[in-house]
Copies of this chain bind each other. A is one copy, B any other.
Amino acid sequence: MINVSIAGGTGYTAGELLRILLRHPEVNIESVISTTSVGMPVAEMHRDLLGETDLVFSDTFRRPDVIFLCLGHGLSRTFLEENDIPASCKIIDLGNDFRNDLAFNGRNFVFGLCEQNREQIRGTNNVANPGCFATTIMLALLPLAAKKLLTDEIHVHAITGSTGAGKKPAETTHFSYRDNNISVYKPFTHQHLEEIRNTLISAGNDDLPQINFVPMRGDFTRGIFASIYTKWEGAMSESAVVDIYEEYYRSSPFVFVSKQPVSMKEVVNTNKGLLHIEFHNGYIYITSVTDNLVKGASGQAVQNMNLMFGLDETTGLKLKGSAF
């Protein structure tokens, strides 16, 4: 059994991690750390876990084999500095501290996009789990990047559920504001652009064109729908392009190319990513959907854990979708 500790245990990604790990056949959760809720039963905070766990929030960990960091962005560094963690203890960071800056304090992080870095992840003790928007967009573009086929500007609109904004209430997550509403934020400047660019370049597309990315706030809780296009002027046939995608994801158990257009709920509550490809007006048009809390955060973190511990990548992750 893998002894797991979760730091930052009260937030949304920690809750989702608990939902997954409590059903994982190879995991024992040894501690759920929270500086603010020590002594409170975990199921009082994450109310849907009633009847599923007797865990209580603690302020420290014992001897975990792996620590998941579900802290606010920037706080993972602090945690690693302030705690004495053996080098043998694996770290999976769900924050953005190490995604673009992979070395820290003697640890070298691997960017944990499983579909790209499966082998490196298997051999590392330190994983920087990708962002949710980034995951959804990278899955759509990686097969082209790996063939250096991204040659013109890339246009991306992606709409996200409210859980992506975290648990702390804010004006834009107030139900009265958000219900039946649409807005955008950080157009052209979202912080995930950096990890998207680094990833596509590292995949082989050294000369990467500009990516124009408009993130939208949707009036739903879970899921990301990304709508992406870029000029496609080569001689390659459409079916050849689909073949590139099929080939790229052949050994990936969670990513599929759909012949039919996809809707977001087809992946909600699963670790899957679905892609659909069309060609119009000299453009390749790709839609990509994920669940921001699962494949975009805690599910992918467990997928990384599975790889790091030599388990089958899908262990504990064959989740029933909600579909509706």
Contacts and interface: CB of A to CB of B under 8 A. Distances in A.
Interface of A: 12, 15-16, 19-20, 23, 44, 46-48, 50-51, 155, 157, 159, 161-163, 165, 167, 169-171, 173-185, 187-189, 210, 212, 214, 216, 218-223, 225, 227, 229, 254, 256, 258, 260-270, 272, 274, 278, 280-281, 283, 285, 287, 293, 318-324
Contacts of A210: 281
B182 A175 contact: no
Nearest to A249: B51
Given A170-B169, A173-B174, A269-B320, A225 B182 contact: yes
B175 A263 contact: no
Contacts of A262: 47, 183
Identical subunits present: 4
Nearest to A165: B176
Contact of A176 (B157, B221, B229): B221
Contact of A267 (B48, B218, B264): B48
Contacts of A219: 175, 179, 218-220
A181 B50 contact: no
Contacts of A189: 280
Contacts of A44: 260
Contacts of A272: 51
Q: Which of A180, A229, A278 has the most CB atoms of chain B within a 10 A radius of its CB?
A: A180
